Structures are given as structure tokens and as C-alpha cells.
Amino acid sequence: MIHKITPTHPRAKSLIIREKLVEGFRNGIVVPEGLIAHGRGEAFDYLLGEKTTKYAYEAEKVAVCLLLLSNKSVISVNGNTAALCAKDLVNLSNITKSKIEVNLFHKCLTRSKAIARMLQKEDANEVFGLDAKLRSTLRYISSNRKFVDKNGIMNSDTVFVALEDGDRTESLVKMGKKVISIDLNPLSRTAIASNVTIVDNIVRAMPNMIKISKQLVNRDRSYLSQQIKNFDNMQNMHKSLIMIRRGV
Ligand code: ATP
């Protein structure tokens, strides 16, 4: 059960996120390594002032443009992301017509099924990544992180990942897929390898992206492509890094 956190506590938001992850851990959704990964993210978020910067918002807008323009986009969900924002992930997938795939760093069918149930409770249509017979193998990666769904990530043109590891991101990019990532650490291999890197906390990025996608869903394709053309991911990440170094 989530501990009661007083809303007036100066660190209430951060404590609520922790409690959601701890609850996810107790329910078999989040692995202990996921709690540690969150700690790294939290430290960067602290330095960012726990706010969406204007650079993160720009990246969120471009990410939505890319999802709306893609024909076969997939949102990759892991334990942490499901525990923190299952409903928002499903909403974004519905608005942008993206598939959802459960894809875990630490593979476990029971956990994948528990995550899928969480997503289905939020009205996800089909959840990919559960059928071992449909397993396909990413190239340029040897560990068991290489497995993806043949009809999901393997067949995609754009993959939206959050809290991903660098090997898999690099492999997806080498295979010619566009990768959008959410990572509070602009220095991670995931952040550097991605085509669009959102340096923001997933709990803020997701509602922003849903709002933006509702605004852009009916815009013409030339407007969406122009936003992508005007965007320089390295420069955008560099600006986030400067904000982190200077302090906000
Ligand atoms: P890489 O292999 O890409 O270099 P890593 O080994 O540094 O990654 P991991 O432990 O694989 O990192 O993944 C955790 C990443 O997710 C960290 O970079 C952390 O900043 C980020 N992260 C954790 N929690 C959040 C969150 N709530 N929102 C956004 N990013 C987060």
C-alpha cells in the first residue's frame, strides 16, 4: 500500500514517485535494478529543478511529430514506466496509433504478463511482446536483451523507449529505426544514440506529449516534418546539459 504522503511536504511529488515504484516492486512489476536506475534519474532531475525545461518541451513536441508521421511506431514499456505511467502510455499509443510492446531488460514472462494486465486495465488494445513464438532477434547485440516481438519492435519504423539501456538503443538505430527516448541523463549512451532525446522525467514528459499530440493530431504532414527538420538533437541535449551544470 502507498504510504500516505502529505501534499504539503516539500518533496511530495518525488516521494509519490518513489512510493509508486516501491508498490510496483512489491507487485512484481518493478525489479530491484529498476529502483536503482530510478535513483540515477532522480539525481539528474534534482539538478534540473524537477521541471520540464523549454528544451525538453521542444524535444517532446518533435517526438510527437515523429510518432504521428510514422506508419509503424511502437511504444516500448518496461516495469518502471508501467508503474509510473501506464495510463498515459496507453493514451499516447491510442492518439498516435502506436503499438505497445512490453520489452524488459530483465526478461521474465510472469512480469511481462503482469505489466500487460496493467496496460489492459487502462484499455490498451493489443499488447505485443508476450508470445515466445513471435520472438525475433535484434542485430548488433548479443545478450538476451536482443529479443523483441516480430510484429512489434522488429517490424517498426519508430520506437519510443524510456529508461532504456544503451546497447539496445544503439542496436535499434543501427537497424535503421528512429528512436525516441526519455532519459534524465543526457550523458547516457541511450541519450546520445537516440534520434530524439527527451531530457525530462517520464512523469512530466508523458502528460506533455499527450497534450501536444491532441494539438497536432490533425496538422498536415508537411508541418510535422518541418518540426523534425528544424530540430537538432545533439544541440538540444547539449543545452539541457548546460542547464544541469549551471544549476537552475
Ligand atoms: P546507458 O546504457 O544508456 O548508458 P545507464 O546504464 O546509464 O544507461 P540504466 O540504469 O540502464 O542507465 O537506465 C536508467 C536511465 O534511466 C538513467 O540514465 C536514468 O537517468 C534514467 N531514468 C530513471 N528514472 C527516470 C525517470 N523517471 N524519467 C526519465 N529518466 C529516468
The parent domain of residue 210 ranges over: 54-246
The verdict on residue 118 lying in a domain is: yes
Residue minimizing CA distance to atom 11 of ligand 1: 165
Q: Write out pLDDT tens, residues 141-178.
A: 887 778 999 999 999 999 999 888 889 999 999 999 99
Measured in angstroms, how far is the CA atom of residue 184 from the centroid of ligand 1? 7
Nearest to 105 by CA among 74, 54, 143, 55: 143
Mean pLDDT of 210-236: 98
Domain count of the fold of the chain: 1
- Give domain status of residue 99, yes or no: yes
**Ligand 1 pocket, 180 CB below 6 A?**
no
Provide the CATH number for the domain around residue 103.
3.40.50.12640
pLDDT tier, 1 (very low <50, low <70, confident <90, very high otherwise): low
Residue with the nearest Cα to atom 7 of ligand 1?
188
Identify which of 22, 171, 184 to mutate to test ligand 1's pocket (most ligand atoms within 8 A of the CB). Answer: 184
Grid cell 528512429 is found at: 178
3-state secondary structure string, 167-194? HHHHHHHHCCCEEEEECCCCCCHHHHHC
Residues 74, 160 contacting (CB under 8 angstroms): yes
User: What is residue 54's predicted lDDT score, i.e. its pLDDT?
Assistant: 96
**Residue 25's Cα: distance from chain center in Å?**
19
Residues 157 and 147 sit within 8 Å (Cβ to Cβ): no
Contact assessment for residue 80 and residue 232, using Cβ atoms and an 8 Å cutoff: no
Q: What is the mean pLDDT of residues 106-119?
A: 91
Provide, rounded to the nearest whole percent, the portion of the chain with pLDDT above 90. Answer: 83
pLDDT for the residue numbered 20: 95
Report CA(107)–ligand 1 centroid distance (Å): 18
Measured between alpha carbons, how far is 38 from 221 in angstroms, rounded to an integer?
A: 36
The verdict on residue 19 lying in a domain is no
Is the Cβ–Cβ distance between 242 and 42 less than 8 Å?
Answer: no
pLDDT digits (tens, 9 = 90+) for 14-48: 899 999 999 999 999 999 999 999 999 999 999 99
Nearest CA to ligand 1 atom 20: 41
C-alpha cell at 144: 538476451
